[in-house]
Amino acid sequence: IKGDVAVVRMNDPNSRVNTLSTQMQREMTEVMDEIWGNNAVQSVVLISSKPGSFIAGADLNMIQACTTAEEVTGLSQEGQRMFEKVEKSPKPIVAAINGSCLGGGLELGLPSAFDMILTGRSIRADKAKKMGLVHQLVDTLGPGLKSPEERTIEYLEEVAVEAARGLAKKQIPLTKEKGLMQSNYFLAEIQDYVMSYPFVRQQIYNTVQNKVMKQTKGLYPAPLKIIECVKAGVEQGPTAGYLVESQHFGKLAMTPESKALIGLYHGQVTCKKNRFGTPEKEVKTLAILGAGLMGAGIAQVSVDKGFHTILKDTTLEGLSRGEQQVYKGLNDKTKKKSITSFERDSFLSNLTGQLDYNGFNKADMIIEAVFEDLSIKHKVLKEVEAMIPPHCIFATNTSALPIKDIAAVSKRPEKVIGMHYFSPVDKMQLLEIITTDKTSKDTTASAVAVGLKQGKVIIVVGDGPGFYTTRCLAPMLAEAVRVLQEGVDPKKLDGLTTGFGFPVGAATLADEVGIDVAAHVAEDLGKAFGSRFGGGNVEVLKTMVEKGFKGRKSGKGCYIYQPGLKRRDVNTEALEILESYKLTSSDSDVQYRLVSRFVNEAVLCLQEGILANPVEGDIGAVFGLGFPPCLGGPFRFVDSFGADKLVEKMRKFEEVFGNQFTPCQLLLDHAKDPSKKFHK
Amino acid sequence: MSLSLIRTVLLTAFSFCSAARSLSTSVHLQAQGNVSGVMLTCEKWKMPIPFSQYNSKSKKTLAKPGVKNIVLVDGVRTPFLQSGTTYADLMPHDLARAALQGLLNRTGLPKDAVDYIVYGTVIQEVKTSNVAREAALGAGFSDKTPAHTVTMACISSNQAMTTAVGLIAAGQCDAVVAGGVEFMSDVPIRHSRKMRKTMLSLNKAKTLGARLSLLGSIRLAHLSPELPAVAEFSTAETMGHSADRLAAAFGVSRLEQDEFALRSHTLAKKAQDGGMLSDVISFKVPGRDIVSKDNGIRPATMEQLAKLKPAFIKPHGTVTAANSSFLTDGASAVLIMSEEKALAMGYKPKAYLRDFVYVSQDPKDQLLLGPTYATPKVLEKSGLTLNDIDVFEFHEAFAGQIMANLKAMESDWFAQTYMGRKTKVGAPPMEKFNTWGGSLSLGHPFAATGCRLVTTVAHRLQKEGGQYGLVAACAAGGQGHAMVIEAYPQ
């Protein structure tokens, strides 16, 4: 308590961030009661003692610990009561927010009489003010007589206390900025008027609902329930609204979707840690070979993390294109104001573009991203090994070539590792790291450390054709080609896949990956794994490549791409090719044909030890391949769908199509014993 | 560089009523009791300086064997005026010319005796990008005397002076004129980039049709002008905003800032009234009256200062128009020579210019901490301690900035954590600090302030009888400067 202002400091001793847990709710209620009982206190400041985090939201563990919907509903109601208490406080409350303020944290912040948000870098703070969510911004401070973090919180508290005092004395008005209010006044008036008609409201609900349905395809139940809550609140008053809200919240917490998403969250947190320990030598200088789409993408996510990055190509044109890609990536960020133009320039100063091997003697890690051709990779590896210092790691970015084949020509195979980035590198979160039996642990630790610094979610898998991700995708795409050969329209196929929850349809995905790459991979993996990888005829893809239909990059694939046009037409010439390879329609469940092959291959990867655990399998599939997030990944899907049901479906497909649908042993084991689950 | 445009307006509302007595809170005038011996008393400013200090210096002189002694012969400046006042219709080189001519008059220097001229400026008038040369020609210097312009934000004329020192030390010149000018009454305002592009293309367009189509491409938005940036380029933060954050970081209160600002104005008024500001020359402004006094000195009361709203961080900031330096027009010039040359020409030099340093730090969070970094460095270089310094002249960009620097210099933690030093350097005692006012009150024509600081140190050393003086300043870009000045034996 500072004079007539009570300062409530939130600090969860057991966690890095504050969350809304039952304990916190209880303590908060106690503190509030105490404050209201104390006549000396005129106003309140709520602040977190943790730098960079106010309240991160509800405690996930708390929700996970509940076994019934009623329990969650109870929790939710308690939470509502607490928020209501804060909202209806007779004494003004200032929420001094430093850093993240999410979910329930925001709810706690918002009803407070006078809110504040703080963060120097993030534009979100500015935006929050513009949206009217917060009333006053406090800047982050630099070094002073104490550390910047410590002093910033202190300063925030000082300012908040002053504001609270001002509010209590009614010196500071509570209204939002006048300018904003006036300009919106007229609009608001109309809105109020119109909203008074139930008919109009119904229209709005419908519109919103349709929009949600379009975006989620009905796979995520939460947005629809939220609409219902709002509806209940508006039509029947706040009490009914709160009741519906807590009931829905309880039900939602118990849905498989909720479990899947919480599982993904925990998995992602796990994959943001380096389970191989700290590398002996920190990588400072990174040399990337090949300034193509991948090479430049890797450079882009490296320069802004402080890596001194050498980008080498063989031609001036290639290099120029690559450097432009890096520049554009960063410049787009300045346009969005997430970084300043000065930061962009200073990031770019970490980039050296060159055609020779100058400076490679100082490189700590090489990431090779040249064309996917074993002989070229061999040539590059030998050339580079002559230039680099002994400690330097050679990482190869390939989507399908086995790392041990590439490492075969290396003099120091313990320093060779696979780093499989996904395109576009700056958008895709996943990095698949592939180790051979010769790769040293320190090399792996170093590669993981670099990937984490680049902001990636990382899975570390064993070596083998297609590793994990490509190996799962290949059979699914092979099945997709077969479906196309059966006469299903590419648009229909896309609709079926996105309808299952994939963010990108199978035909579009093939175009994005590149038909040539797909053909290449299909052939390689077909050789390695035999008929299990059959399905569609590889010749279909090959013929398309011959005609120049390489997907988006060549302007034609399954679809026709025209620069500047969002609309895509189906490539009729591709259809002609498909026609010539036409198969009789089997007219069975296309969605499960596609997904079961994907899932079976994933389980097989775990069985064969390519995957270390199901968590990485789920994370890899969701973040790298777009496996439906609402299903939580192939392993969680097996758990929730039921291995026995999946095997049953596959057996049916097996009768028609053959061994491509033979369930693997591990899957059969799970089918036999329902108590076996991949996720506990 | 502080561009607090509103200040001039706001300050006019203040009365001239003096509040000198209320100052005792921030200026410690009491004598150092236990010092015995002869006291030299500065006549106007009742400040006892123990004479015994004279013999207790770490070093008797900073002269080094094999290094030329370089001296400040004299220094002058035009009156510093709030921008938009009497100088409003001039051009920058006019002001510079006045300072240069003033220097010639004051020293009686033959116009062809100068080997070189270095001049500083920050906001450049595009017509006179080498303002040094234009001003020198206009001031009647020999057209055989080369001149160049330097720029380093608020320490531009410090850079001009040290460039001169370098030229003399290297044996290339014997007599160099250095100075700086800033003219904020008129700044270059440009067309937008799109408009400029169209206009440039227009020059190249060959046919009438091509010209018309270019003219047709001009949109209303292209006509909005581009004002000179009031912000740090690298961070896009205005200097006042940064100063406010700095003050908050060091826990400098609004009250402390207002007190310091009031101290600056009060001391400046006293110095002006007492005739201490002898570096100011009179200037007959064409079409206007003769100007012979700075016009930004306005002591107010603490109550008046407390009423002002924060100028940059609203509503809880602490930097206001009154505790920031204001936009100023002005020019300064100094004559720097090798000691031999000065003596040969019959001059009685005012001071030796000794060691100097430039420093730079993070332009975001440590933008204005130059003095904190530069002071210990220059003291170390010259082998002196803070106690050896009799006269401190620090550039006052903002009261909050000065207070933050003083606190930083007093902090062991800051010295250890950010400067890699074992201990703090210590803050200058206030009775030796900016006792004739500073940039807050006298005004701050960016590129002219450096010469004012050096000349003031020389004059204060003469008046007060000290031996060593220290100049320190911060500058945009997170840079800083400090110089040690030694009194010329009288």
B411, A141: Cβ pair inside 8 Å? no
Kindly report the number of other CB atoms within 10 A of residue B443's CB atom: 29
A contacts of B366 (beta carbons < 8 Å): 142-143
Q: What is the pLDDT of residues B71-98, one digit of tens each?
A: 999 999 999 999 999 999 999 999 999 9
Indicate whether A587 pLDDT > 60: no
The pTM of the full predicted model, rounded to 2 decimals, is: 0.78
Residue B420 contacts A where some CB pair is shorter than 8 Å: no
| Confidence bin at A307 (pLDDT 50/70/90) | very high
| pLDDT, position A101 | 52
Locate the chain B residue with the closest alpha carbon to A343: B234
B24: left (phi over 0), alpha (psi -120 to 50) or beta: alpha
SS3 label, residue B459: helix
Per the domain annotation, does B461 fall within a domain? Answer: yes
In order of A321, A322, A370, A375, the CA distances from A293 in angstroms are 9, 7, 10, 20
Please confirm whether the linkage preceding A424 is cis (ω < 30° from 0).
Answer: yes
Residue B411 contacts A where some CB pair is shorter than 8 Å: yes
Which of A141, A145, A147 lies closest to B245 in CB terms?
A141
Which of B241, B249, B364 lies closest to A144 in CB terms?
B249
Torsion of CA A591, A594, A599, A605, to 10 degrees: -170
Per the domain annotation, does B179 fall within a domain? Answer: no
Query: In B292-421, which ranges are continuous DSSP H helix?
Result: 302-307, 339-344, 370-382, 399-409, 412-418
Q: Which of residues 104-123 of A touch B (CB under 8 A)?
A: none
DSSP string for residues in B407-419: HHHT-HHHHHHHS
Residue A155 contacts B where some CB pair is shorter than 8 Å: yes
Higher pLDDT, A103 or B59: B59
Q: In Å, how far is B418's CA from the nearest CA of chain A?
A: 8
| Confidence bin at A8 (pLDDT 50/70/90) | confident
| Confidence bin at B15 (pLDDT 50/70/90) | very low
| pLDDT, position B111 | 86
B248, A162: Cβ pair inside 8 Å? no
A340, B235: Cβ pair inside 8 Å? yes
Higher pLDDT, A481 or A201: A481
Please state whether beta strands A365-368 and A285-289 pair in parallel, antiparallel, or not at all (unpaired): parallel
Least confident segment among A533-542, B296-305, B450-459: A533-542
Residue A142 contacts B where some CB pair is shorter than 8 Å: yes
Q: Which of residues 167-186 of A touch B (CB under 8 A)?
A: 172
Residue B413 contacts A where some CB pair is shorter than 8 Å: yes
B251, A340: Cβ pair inside 8 Å? no
> For all residues of chain A together, what is the average pLDDT?
80
| pLDDT, position A121 | 35
Least confident segment among B19-28, B192-201, B281-290: B19-28
The arithmetic mean of pLDDT across residues A378-401, rounded, is 92
In chain A, % of residues over pLDDT 90: 31
Per the domain annotation, does B416 fall within a domain? Answer: yes
| pLDDT, position A380 | 93
Which of B251, B316, B365 lies closest to A145 in CB terms?
B251
Q: What is the pLDDT of residues A277-306, one digit of tens each?
A: 899 899 999 999 999 989 999 999 999 999
| Confidence bin at A55 (pLDDT 50/70/90) | low
* Domains: count for chain B: 1
Locate the chain A residue with the closest alpha carbon to B316: A159
| pLDDT, position A2 | 62
Asked whether the beta carbons of A120 and B218 are under 8 A apart, the reply is no
B contacts of A172 (beta carbons < 8 Å): 315
| Confidence bin at A200 (pLDDT 50/70/90) | low
A144, B250: Cβ pair inside 8 Å? yes
Most B CBs within 10 Å: which of A146, A152, A345, as the mutation test of the B interface?
A: A146
Q: What is the pLDDT of residues B370-381, one digit of tens each?
A: 999 999 999 999
A144, B241: Cβ pair inside 8 Å? no
Domain of B363, CATH number, reads 3.40.47.10
Cα distance between residue A136 and residue A117, in whole Å: 7
A148, B413: Cβ pair inside 8 Å? no
A and B: number of Cβ contacts within 8 A = 62
Q: Which of residues 239-268 of B touch A (CB under 8 A)?
A: 241, 245-246, 248-251
| Confidence bin at A171 (pLDDT 50/70/90) | low
| pLDDT, position A256 | 76
Per the domain annotation, does B205 fall within a domain? Answer: no
Asked whether the beta carbons of A534 and A478 are under 8 A apart, the reply is yes
Cα distance between residue B291 and residue B272, in whole Å: 14
| Confidence bin at B213 (pLDDT 50/70/90) | confident
> For all residues of chain B together, what is the average pLDDT?
87
Please confirm whether the linkage preceding B50 is cis (ω < 30° from 0).
Answer: no
Query: Which segment, A75-89, A107-121, A229-243, A304-318, is predicted with the most confidence on average?
Result: A304-318
The arithmetic mean of pLDDT across residues A590-611, rounded, is 91
The residues, ordered by sequence, that sit 6+ positions from A105 with a Cβ below 8 Å of its Cβ are A18, A20, A54, A55, A56, A57
Per the annotation, the verdict on B42 as an active-site residue is no
Indicate whether A118 pLDDT > 50: no
DSSP string for residues in A503-541: SS-HHHHHHHH-HHHHHHHHHHHHHHHGGGG-SS-HHHH
Higher pLDDT, A261 or B19: A261
Residue A187 contacts B where some CB pair is shorter than 8 Å: no
Strands (E) located in A561-648: 569-570
| Confidence bin at A104 (pLDDT 50/70/90) | very low
Residue A146 contacts B where some CB pair is shorter than 8 Å: yes
Q: Is the ipTM of this complex over 0.90?
A: no
| pLDDT, position B147 | 97
| Confidence bin at B13 (pLDDT 50/70/90) | very low
Asked whether the beta carbons of A340 and B235 are under 8 A apart, the reply is yes
B contacts of A163 (beta carbons < 8 Å): 316
Q: Which of residues 306-365 of A touch B (CB under 8 A)?
A: 340, 342
Residue B41 tokens read as 């008393």
Cα distance between residue A371 and residue B198, in whole Å: 44
| Confidence bin at A571 (pLDDT 50/70/90) | confident
The arithmetic mean of pLDDT across residues B405-422, rounded, is 94
Q: Which of residues 541-600 of A touch B (CB under 8 A)?
A: none
Query: In A271-402, which ranges are continuous DSSP H helix?
Result: 293-303, 316-335, 341-348, 374-385
| pLDDT, position A166 | 73
Per the domain annotation, does B188 fall within a domain? Answer: no
Per the domain annotation, does B443 fall within a domain? Answer: yes
Per the domain annotation, does B128 fall within a domain? Answer: no
Indicate whether A603 pLDDT > 60: yes
Per the domain annotation, does B101 fall within a domain? Answer: no
Give B125-171 as a 3 state SS string. Answer: CHHHCCHHHHHHHHCCCCCCCCEEEECECECHHHHHHHHHHHHHHCC
| pLDDT, position A487 | 83
How many helices (H) and strands (E) would you count in chain B? 15, 14
A contacts of B476 (beta carbons < 8 Å): none
Domain that holds residue B442: 10-50+237-276+353-480
Active-site annotation holder among A257, A432, A479, A616: A432
Closest CA to A657 of A478, A468, A469: A478
| Confidence bin at B66 (pLDDT 50/70/90) | confident
| pLDDT, position B53 | 47
| Confidence bin at A75 (pLDDT 50/70/90) | confident
Residue B54 contacts A where some CB pair is shorter than 8 Å: no
| pLDDT, position A96 | 67
B contacts of A141 (beta carbons < 8 Å): 245, 248-249, 365
